[in-house]
Amino acid sequence: MSQFIYTIPTLLVLFGAITLLFMSMSEKISIKSHIFVSSLFLVLALAFALFNVNTLYSVQPYEGFLNNVLTFDTFSNFFNILLILGTLLTILIGEHYIEYRKYFKGEFFSIILFALFGMMVLAQANELITAFIALEIASFSVYILVGFNRDDSKRVEAVFKYLVLGAFIGAFFLLGMVLVYGTTASTNLADIYKYIIGADHANIALLYIGLTLIIFTFLFKIAAFPFQSWVLDIYRGAPMIVTAYMASTFKIAIFSFFLRLILEYISPLIDFWDTILQVVIVLTLLFGTWLAITQEIVKRMLAASSIVHTGYLLLAFIALSYADGEVLNIGAAYSIMFYLIAYLLSALGTFGLASHIISETNVKVTYDDFRGLAKQRPFLAAMMTIFLLSLAGIPGTIGFIGKVYVFTEAIKAGYIILAVVAIIATIISMYYYLRLIGMMYFYEPKQECISQEFNDSRVSTYAILFVAILTLVGGIGSAVVFFIPALNIDTLINFAQIAVQSLFL
């Protein structure tokens, strides 16, 4: 029975996806009912996940049935909480956007829960075939979400591009897995680790090649250089609320598996990719920054800026190993996990709020279209400002704390030049973030973009406010909210520490 408790959040999400699939067969059930049912399942799953958040455990339940392909531990539970919370907030923030666009049907909510199920299994996977299946479940669900509106040519183009590129990079994962299996005679990560420990590192060239191909899949999914070319077109073509989900929650799932892979299983080999990753980080930061500066469409700017944030996360990844190659820098793992929390809130808030603003119109597209938004809808402009400042890393927001942790760990690990490049990219990012803020506050609105009679007393508005409060509270930390322990920065870091400790039980 104790083993079953750990599986409840994942099973609830799966059961919720199947329930919503059957509900979608009836056209009499309204979109509001689908939102309510999906939110109910997610809240229940989140409650069960939070029940074990501060407990140190690591179990592989039902060995005869699951054959030790999944590990339910504090680490996977940490990421499950973020994934469930990100999905729940996506649905709530997108409530107005989804209701106003008639092409959204009940199947949308079933598919988004199937995507979440795949992501949660990926966070728990400790076997390569299982990880690949989980990744494909999540990926194919996202493909469908991207092209959900079949009548829009941009959506159709985006989903075909994403599908073709995703299938191509999936072949890299499969080929890498074949080479790993050919070397170690196993796809179980624990067996691969035992092989690495006992092998002569000079004679495992195929293992290095196989793992490199798998890492290529990782770099593609998180949109690092040189695999970032799909981001702008796919993010631009997808429905805004789907873009919010891809930019925030889906990226967390990818990091969850590869962070487990590096920390627990292939840590003796990570120095092999050190030089490659340094080049990738610099080019990701430079190329992402250049793309973000040159965009006039806000959605494309935010998509390009997500590439820059990938560079920051990779900086923390490379900091897992000290520059002299001595031992693991566990502090970098904590910085990755905290930065993922910060980016989840900031990115979901920014993209989600943009979807809320354009819910009843499509005119808010370029920077100029956001002129004078503060005069029309001051509350929403204030929320957007908070999220943009967090993405820019301005003090007082959770994004600032996240960047401080990442840069500090990179410098401590000896990657000073990379940290300097990242800091310069952060300074430059203030231009394209503050430019949008300036448009909202210091210009008169364009006549064709003036809207009247908006009703912002909606679920989506309150969800956006909740995310904005978390973004600020995560930035000011225990200095102000000491009376709410769960919201302290130290508490979040402590959760991350317990999660990482569970990997070594």
Nearest CA among 220, 186, 209 for reference residue 269: 209
Q: What DSSP string describes 89-136?
A: HHHHHTHHHHHH-TT--THHHHHHHHHHHHHHHHHHB-BHHHHHHHHH
CA distances from 485 to 43, 69, 481, 495 (A): 21, 35, 7, 12
Any idea which residue has 């049935």 for tokens? 65
Residue 261 has φ and ψ, to the nearest 5°, of -60, -45
**How many whole angstroms separate alpha carbon 380 and alpha carbon 302?**
17
**How many whole angstroms separate alpha carbon 305 and alpha carbon 172?**
26
Nearest CA among 342, 146, 132 for reference residue 252: 342
| Residue 222 near residue 310, CB atoms below 8 Å | yes
| Residue 19 near residue 37, CB atoms below 8 Å | yes
> 379 pLDDT exceeds 60?
yes
| Model confidence band, residue 364 (pLDDT cutoffs 50, 70, 90) | low
> 324 pLDDT exceeds 70?
no
- State the angle between helix axes of 298-318 and 229-237 in degrees (0 to 180), rounded to the nearest 10: 140
| Start-end of H helices in 185-273 | 189-198, 205-221, 229-237, 240-245, 251-260
Give 409-421 pLDDT, tens digit per residue: 889 888 899 999 9
Please say whether the dihedral angle defined by the alpha carbons of residues 83, 89, 90 and 95, taken in this order, is positive or negative: positive
Quick check: bond before 9 cis, omega within 30?
no
Question: By CB neighbour count within 10 A (0-12 exposed, 13-18 middle, 19+ buried), where does 326 fall?
Answer: exposed
Give 420-440 pLDDT, tens digit per residue: 999 999 999 898 888 888 888
| Model confidence band, residue 107 (pLDDT cutoffs 50, 70, 90) | confident
pLDDT at position 32 is 85
SS (H, E, C) 441-477: HHCCCCHHHCCCCCCCCCHHHHHHHHHHHHHHHHHHC
Give 464-481 pLDDT, tens digit per residue: 888 888 888 877 764 554
> 398 pLDDT exceeds 70?
yes
> What number is the average pLDDT over the span 329-339?
85
The two tokens of residue 187 are 């796809």
Residue 260 has φ and ψ, to the nearest 5°, of -60, -45
Any residues with CB less than 8 A from the CB of 307 and at least 6 apart, and which? 223, 224, 225, 228, 231, 284, 287, 288, 291, 292
> What number is the average pLDDT over the span 448-461?
64
pLDDT at position 15 is 93
Question: By CB neighbour count within 10 A (0-12 exposed, 13-18 middle, 19+ buried), where does 387 fall?
Answer: buried
